[in-house]
Structure 1
Amino acid sequence: MSSLINRSFSMVSNGLQQKTAMNGQHMESSDNPLKVFVLAKKTINEIFLDINAFVTECQQFVKDVNEEVVTRDQLTRVDSFIDKVVGIRDVLSRDHMKVAFFGRTSNGKSSVINAVLHNKILPSGLGHTTNCFLQVEGTDEDEPYIVVEDNPNTRLNIESVQDLANALKTESMGDATLVRVFWPKSKCSLLSDDVVLVDSPGIDVSANLDEWIDKHCLDADVFVLVSNSESTLMRTEKNFFHKVNEKLSKPNVFILNNRWDASASEPENQELVRKQHLTRDIDFLSSELNVVDSNEAKDRVFFVSAKEVLQSRLQSQPVNSNAFPDGFQLRYFEFEDFERKFEQCLSQSALKTKFAQHTKRAQRLTSELNHILDAIQQKSSQMMTSKCEQRKELMDKLQFIQQQMHLLTDEVKHQICHMVEQVEVKVSSALTEEIRRLSLLVNDFDRPFSSDCLVLGVYKKELHSHVERGLGSNLRARLSSALSCNVESAQHEMIERVMNLLPPSDQQKQFNYSLNPRQNFEILYRINCESLCSDFQEDLEFKFSFGLIQMIKRFTRSDYKIKDAKSLPSTAPQTPSNSEVVRTTALDTDALALIDRLSLLSPQSHTTVGVLGVSAFLVRTIGWRLIAITASVYGLLYIYERLTWTNRAKETTFKRQYVNHSTKKLKLIVDLTSANCSHQVQQELSSTFARLCHLVDEVIVDIQTELKLLDEQIQRLDDYSNISRRLKNKAIFLANDLNKFSDDYLNIESH
């Protein structure tokens, strides 16, 4: 038995030497439960970093989404998620495993903490009673320091902790005041694993237990009740943990019966005392607090000597067995067993208390975001389907309008051409008819006539106007009403055909544009007689109707008319009678030539020369008596005509000459006038159809603009749908990460 104890003591000594060589740090192992918390904290922080980026992206996306797709409530909810994630990340960055040590005064709470930390950090020993809360946590800095709660911006050296926390000092702080002790992580591996140890004043010297619990206990993961093994659990200790149990759901409580080394002086009663303490402690945990069952409560009660463990861990040399009372090795092993079990419990408890709620909140958050994104995607898809249907309807309408307008344009062109031809024929026919009746129009002109040059000039000017007005009035009476009706009918037909192509809203737009055909359309015939007959020269000199020259000219014109009518060369045989006619004709031709030469010599004596010529001719043919009778009759006729050559006769002659001249001129412009009138009709119909085409083009442009807008909206909705789908996939990935985190770290019982 003694050899076994010596071997065990040797093993403890070697272990202590190894720990001393490692600057008092715990030997790290791959199955260290505290490392699980550190890894879990790193993992959950990385997940929440992704969640933060995801929520930020969702927030920006929802802000960019059209108000028709996303509701105000959805936008508000997504905005609130940002604050929630930021708050959770802030809490996670400060989350740590917290162990709170409580007990009556001088039960060795500070010694237990120092033993766990392998360093004498907190003041302990005779007279060193803690009068405030001391929180030991790790720092990445090389030198330790302390910070008082009342003055967080001021750092104090580590030696000040004895002055601040010692109850023997006259200037003591309040018992609920927190003093944070920052110890380098490089000197203590436990602190590097995000463990925070809290030392408290004795619960038997303060009445502020509720304040303690609210301020320092609500976020604790493990409570360690340090009791004195030389006495039993006191009512004060039990009352405190009953209060803790009321505010926390089944807190993790360990009971350390400290100063168990005193039992070495009474080995005969050691087992009995241990059994009594163990029974009372188990009953307190399982029956009174009801935090664990009786079997599990056995693993929550330990009998240790913190002072021995601290001394052994502070020695740089191998432990001398004679320096400690009997049973040191067992007490040391039990303290290590306490450390192992409380670390395991601490890690499991911290994982659940620190991360479980945050994980559930993150799962609810990602689930809500997934529902919002799904609603946005469905709304986008529905709106995109509706927009696509609208676009198809608009495209069909646009194609229909364009096709029908193409066909209508061809029909209107043919209709206008046909109408133009009809107008041209009607105007030409009517104008020709009016030219034939020009003499009646000229005879209707009743103005004083005089052969005086000045008066005659005014007379001709007024006659031009009269003829121009008369022709225009007659043409309007014959044509304008029918032509205007035809034009207006064609215009109404165009408008009706075009309006039938467009929807009612666009038809109303046409009325707003006053697309009715022009009222009282009238063709302008533009017959400018003054310009047309500007070269007219009247001949008002007296000319005897039966004068030789007038007769010859008359016969000559008749002969020309006959030749123009027949336009055939003479092929009659040369009979005697014909020879005589030919000779007579030759004679007449010689006589006419002689008369013409005589008339050229004396233009003022045409009649006299004519009479002489005829007389000479007749004397030779028929005799003097007949000549005398004929000359008498001829003279009487001449005298009659000369006496009747009055101003009225001159006016009649003037009008006849004017009619002849105007007829020739007007015949020249029949085609031009009819073409001009047909062009006016063409212009009127073409301009009406052009206005219709312009309005149709505006409607087409509106449709194309609406199509472009629909295309942009469809593209935007498609982007919304795609982005929503992508973000939903991210939400699923994050949910999987959270589920995996729960399976790996939170659902420990299932493993």
Structure 2
Amino acid sequence: MSGSTGKMLHQVFGGGDTFGGASPKVGVSPREHLSPLKIFVLAKKEINSTFGDISKYVSEGGEFLSSLELDKMPVIDNADRETVLAFPDKVRGIREVLARDHMKCVFFGRTSNGKSTVINAMLQDKILPSGLGHTTNCFLQVEGSKNNEAYLMLENTSEKRSVESVSQLGNALHGESLDPNALVRIFWPSNKCNLLRDDVVLLDSPGVDVSPNVDDWIDKYCLDADVFVIVANAESTLTTTEKKFFHKVSERLSKPNVFILNNRWDASANEPECIDKVRKQHLDRNISFLLEELKVYGSRSQAEERVFFVSAREVLNTRIQKLKGEQPSGGQIEGYQSRYFEFEDFERKFEKCLSETAVKTKFQQHCERGVKIVSEVMQIMDKAFQNATSLRESKIADRNEYLDRLEFTKMQMHELTDEVKHRIEQLVEQVECQVTQALSEEIRKLNVLVTEYERPFHPDPALLNLYKKELHTYVEKGLGSNLKARLNLPLQCSVETSQKEMVNRLGQLIPENLQAQMQNALPRNHFEPLYRLNCESLCCDFQEDLEFRFSLGFVAIINRFLGPRKAQHPLLGQSSIPRPLPNATPTDSPAPTRLREAFGNPAEECLALMTKTALLSPTSQTAVGLFAVAGIVVRTVGWKVIIITVGAYGIVYAYERMTWTNKAKEKAFKKQYVQHASAKLKLIVELTSSNCSHQVQQELSGTFARLGHLVDEVVTDMEAEVSNLDKQISEADGAAGQARKLRNRAGYLETELDTFSKKYLRHEEE
């Protein structure tokens, strides 16, 4: 190897952080000085973080909407709530997919074209079995292990196997062969390979010419691939089988990203004279396939950027020697440097295309879905905010209306209470006067009522007690009937008028649906006051006097004589009956006058003596009276006059004695009863009138209390409604605040997704 060649190789393999061990790549995106693969890792981390925030957001939104009682607070439809409640599961599914997402590249080609060798060269180690003939028997997927452990797993199993067993399981030359559609997952330590550390998955496939299950391959392994690499044999050309396979891929995927590696280009060193012509022939056919048949690129220059001429075996050997610290030995072959650089150029463009395509294919759909979810939640939250705000304003208006009605009702009730009290007082005074007047008039006419009583009368004490008892009942009933006839109708009119006025006034304070209860609050029967006279108890001390009393008897005469002068009983303090002073005596006085002067007015002195004797003697008062009168008369008028007078006196006595019959006794009894009952009834006139007025007061007060209770119920209902409205206003206010908060958070999440889209998805356009 010449010195210039060795110097060049030292420059090529002397350092660099790329997985090919080359110098910093030309054409790598300068964004934040990150490699394209690092951009995917960073984008994945950011979108996972954003969807973590979205997950919390939709969960909080679902909890908020679930807490709303839509029957009491209809701020959203039930369909909207169900929509938001379904988002957490959808976001959880997206997060699970994002956690599994990686950059996936599938290598296809005919058998023995070097697919496994290309992958090994990129991984800088002999991981996959390779060699002459049909080597790869099934799909071999190489990915980084999280714990930097090397192992493999068969499809649909969790059993870890030794990575060395891949040479038996995946090698078609080995006796234990797997189905061509089977998948073997090879986990290789990420710290040994930058590609795997950056979340790249490489999938090696069996030759497209060894299995007819092409459609199954595409559906199972190609639909989620980001880049396809066709590994062709530079010693021949693209076959119809390879082209047919990618035509089917293109039918299922919209413009797949395809690289064509013309491998084993080191064979061109044996024919240097036609190398350019062969390269041009391969290039034209590859570009025609990409541009005209697959139509995955828009121009020849774009298609030309996807065609490479390499030798994977040379690159693999060189990199293995470098890892061992040995000097690369491939530089002695003609054109080695250009082939090595072209493989590095493929890796650079592969990195960039894989990262950009993976970011777009893996994250764009999720980003758009996230924007849609957040936008839908934001619209629902904005709707909830608007409706909650409107509901709050409506409830505030209702509350103010209820407060005004409540204040008006209380004020009107207070005024009506004062008016009704005043009205009842006036009516009570009026009733008291009416009852007093009517009862007084009935007492004055009591003689007529008692006279009309026609019960048979007999002075026998036993029969007389029954007579008195029935007379008490008759008088009480008669007085009551007369009072009812005179008072009930006007009292009923006054009471019912007042009650109707109460209903009309209070009815204005009660809703229409309670108007029927106003009528139920009125008494079912007409008001009838009770006149409690109770004559039997009132006149229980009545004692009749049915003894015969001669109207000209001495006691009767003395009573008539002393009655006008208000004579008092001598035992009560007056020693003698007062008499008037003597007048001047005229000269021509008549005989009686001269007689009084001669005997010193013996008649008065005798009368005083007889009165004292009559009042103090236990004997008959009539005999004493006769003795006194006889002495006076004898001295003054003579015997003839006395005889005539005594005769007339006897006739009168006999007449009165003969007319003192049961009829006369009944008349005297009724007269005595009228006098006694009238006196007693006069004592209860004021009490009876007060009792009647009290009944009226109770009747009206009770009616007003019942009507007022309905108003109180209305006031209580309004106060309860105001309290309920306060609670609803508070709940609506809280709902509006929470909806506004969630709506604003949606705007923040939309900004995050838009920033992610501008940063990772639309930077090429910008």
TM-score, normalising length: structure 1: 0.91
Report how far residue 83 of structure 1 moved.
3.2
d(CA) in 2 for partners of 1:588 and 1:477?
A: 59
Structure 1 range deviating more: 642-651 or 42-51: 642-651
User: CA 1:590/1:371 → structure 2, altered by over 3 Å: closer, same or farther?
Assistant: farther
> In 2, are the aligned partners of 1:14 and 1:318 still within 8 Å (CA)?
no
Corresponding residue for residue 138 of structure 1: 144
User: CA 1:560/1:333 → structure 2, altered by over 3 Å: closer, same or farther?
Assistant: farther
Corresponding residue for residue 272 of structure 1: 277
> In 1, are the aligned partners of 2:111 and 2:133 still within 8 Å (CA)?
no
Q: 3-state DSSP class of the match of 1:750?
A: coil
d(CA) in 2 for partners of 1:620 and 1:296?
A: 184
Corresponding residue for residue 239 of structure 2: 234
Q: Deviations over 1:212-259 (max 9, x none)?
A: 111111111011111122222222222222221222111111111222
> In 2, are the aligned partners of 1:185 and 1:192 still within 8 Å (CA)?
yes
Q: Tell me which amino acid in the other structure corresponds to 1:387.
A: K
Q: Deviations over 1:427-477 (max 9, x none)?
A: 111111111111111111222222222111111111111111111111112
Q: 3-state DSSP class of the match of 2:141?
A: strand
Corresponding residue for residue 359 of structure 1: 367
User: CA 1:621/1:116 → structure 2, altered by over 3 Å: closer, same or farther?
Assistant: farther
Q: 3-state DSSP class of the match of 2:104?
A: strand
Corresponding residue for residue 14 of structure 2: 14
d(CA) in 1 for partners of 2:647 and 2:517?
A: 90
Q: Deviations over 1:475-506 (max 9, x none)?
A: 11211122122212211221122213323222
Q: CA RMSD in A?
A: 3.0
**Within the alignment, does 1:47 sit opposite 2:50 as a pair?**
yes
d(CA) in 1 for partners of 2:400 and 2:120?
A: 81
Question: How is 1:339-488 mapped onto 2 (pairs within 5 angstroms)?
Answer: 339-488=347-496
Report how far residue 671 of structure 1 moved.
0.6
Aligned equivalent of 1:34, options 20, 37, 47: 37
Aligned equivalent of 1:305, options 304, 311, 315: 311
User: CA 1:589/1:51 → structure 2, altered by over 3 Å: closer, same or farther?
Assistant: farther
* Unpaired runs of at least 5, structure 1: 23-27, 562-569
Q: 3-state DSSP class of the match of 2:158?
A: strand
**Within the alignment, does 1:728 sit opposite 2:743 as a pair?**
yes
Report how far residue 619 of structure 1 moved.
4.1
Corresponding residue for residue 82 of structure 2: 76
Q: 3-state DSSP class of the match of 1:232?
A: coil
**Within the alignment, does 1:681 sit opposite 2:696 as a pair?**
yes
Q: Tell me which amino acid in the other structure corresponds to 2:201.
A: V
Question: How is 1:531-542 mapped onto 2 (pairs within 5 angstroms)?
Answer: 531-542=537-548
Q: 3-state DSSP class of the match of 1:205?
A: coil
**Within the alignment, does 1:664 sit opposite 2:670 as a pair?**
no
Corresponding residue for residue 564 of structure 1: none
d(CA) in 1 for partners of 2:165 and 2:326?
A: 32
Aligned equivalent of 1:695, options 695, 705, 710: 710
Corresponding residue for residue 281 of structure 1: 286
> In 1, are the aligned partners of 2:402 and 2:722 still within 8 Å (CA)?
yes
User: CA 1:287/1:196 → structure 2, altered by over 3 Å: closer, same or farther?
Assistant: same
Corresponding residue for residue 573 of structure 2: none
Aligned length: 734
Corresponding residue for residue 295 of structure 2: 290
Identity, % of aligned pairs? 54
d(CA) in 2 for partners of 1:488 and 1:455?
A: 47
d(CA) in 2 for partners of 1:372 and 1:17?
A: 50
Corresponding residue for residue 160 of structure 2: 155
**Within the alignment, does 1:643 sit opposite 2:658 as a pair?**
yes
Structure 1 range deviating more: 683-692 or 360-369: 360-369
d(CA) in 2 for partners of 1:326 and 1:373?
A: 70
Q: 3-state DSSP class of the match of 1:501?
A: coil
Corresponding residue for residue 267 of structure 2: 262
d(CA) in 1 for partners of 2:630 and 2:664?
A: 29
Structure 1 range deviating more: 388-397 or 493-502: 388-397
Q: 3-state DSSP class of the match of 1:180?
A: strand
d(CA) in 1 for partners of 2:688 and 2:381?
A: 77
Aligned equivalent of 2:530, options 503, 524, 527: 524
Q: 3-state DSSP class of the match of 1:240?
A: helix
> In 2, are the aligned partners of 1:377 and 1:721 still within 8 Å (CA)?
yes
**Within the alignment, does 1:220 sit opposite 2:225 as a pair?**
yes
User: CA 1:86/1:354 → structure 2, altered by over 3 Å: closer, same or farther?
Assistant: same
Aligned equivalent of 1:59, options 62, 86, 97: 62
Report how far residue 709 of structure 1 moved.
2.9
Corresponding residue for residue 205 of structure 1: 210
Q: Tell me which amino acid in the other structure corresponds to 2:667.
A: T
d(CA) in 1 for partners of 2:391 and 2:308?
A: 69
> In 2, are the aligned partners of 1:449 and 1:456 still within 8 Å (CA)?
yes
d(CA) in 2 for partners of 1:353 and 1:587?
A: 161
Q: 3-state DSSP class of the match of 1:254?
A: strand
User: CA 1:19/1:44 → structure 2, altered by over 3 Å: closer, same or farther?
Assistant: closer
Q: Deviations over 1:648-700 (max 9, x none)?
A: 22222222211111111111111111111111111111111111111111222
d(CA) in 1 for partners of 2:263 and 2:226?
A: 21
Q: 3-state DSSP class of the match of 2:202?
A: strand
Corresponding residue for residue 508 of structure 1: 516
User: CA 1:14/1:85 → structure 2, altered by over 3 Å: closer, same or farther?
Assistant: same
Report how far residue 575 of structure 1 moved.
5.8
User: CA 1:729/1:704 → structure 2, altered by over 3 Å: closer, same or farther?
Assistant: same
Report how far residue 321 of structure 1 moved.
4.1
d(CA) in 1 for partners of 2:676 and 2:454?
A: 19
User: CA 1:577/1:265 → structure 2, altered by over 3 Å: closer, same or farther?
Assistant: farther
**Within the alignment, does 1:252 sit opposite 2:260 as a pair?**
no
d(CA) in 2 for partners of 1:120 and 1:734?
A: 46
> In 1, are the aligned partners of 2:111 and 2:209 still within 8 Å (CA)?
yes
User: CA 1:676/1:18 → structure 2, altered by over 3 Å: closer, same or farther?
Assistant: closer
Q: 3-state DSSP class of the match of 1:302?
A: strand
Report how far residue 577 of structure 1 moved.
6.4
Report how far residue 720 of structure 1 moved.
2.5
> In 2, are the aligned partners of 1:133 and 1:177 still within 8 Å (CA)?
yes
Report how far residue 172 of structure 1 moved.
2.1
d(CA) in 2 for partners of 1:416 and 1:560?
A: 48
> In 2, are the aligned partners of 1:264 and 1:326 still within 8 Å (CA)?
yes
Q: Deviations over 1:377-398 (max 9, x none)?
A: 3333333333333333333322
User: CA 1:673/1:301 → structure 2, altered by over 3 Å: closer, same or farther?
Assistant: same
Q: Tell me which amino acid in the other structure corresponds to 2:396.
A: C
Corresponding residue for residue 164 of structure 1: 169
User: CA 1:141/1:404 → structure 2, altered by over 3 Å: closer, same or farther?
Assistant: same
Report how far residue 588 of structure 1 moved.
7.2
d(CA) in 1 for partners of 2:603 and 2:440?
A: 40
Report how far residue 617 of structure 1 moved.
3.5
Question: How is 1:497-646 mapped onto 2 (pairs within 5 angstroms)?
Answer: 497-511=505-519, 514-560=520-566, 576=584, 591=606, 593-646=608-661
Corresponding residue for residue 338 of structure 2: 330
Report how far residue 4 of structure 1 moved.
4.4
d(CA) in 2 for partners of 1:522 and 1:16?
A: 120
Report how far residue 19 of structure 1 moved.
8.2
d(CA) in 2 for partners of 1:555 and 1:662?
A: 27
Corresponding residue for residue 197 of structure 2: 192
d(CA) in 1 for partners of 2:264 and 2:513?
A: 99
Q: 3-state DSSP class of the match of 2:508?
A: helix
d(CA) in 1 for partners of 2:604 and 2:395?
A: 101
User: CA 1:612/1:378 → structure 2, altered by over 3 Å: closer, same or farther?
Assistant: same
> In 2, are the aligned partners of 1:37 and 1:350 still within 8 Å (CA)?
yes
d(CA) in 2 for partners of 1:476 and 1:45?
A: 98
Report how far residue 323 of structure 1 moved.
6.5
Structure 1 range deviating more: 581-590 or 191-200: 581-590
Q: Tell me which amino acid in the other structure corresponds to 1:185.
A: S
Structure 1 range deviating more: 72-81 or 138-147: 72-81
Aligned equivalent of 2:131, options 121, 125, 130: 125
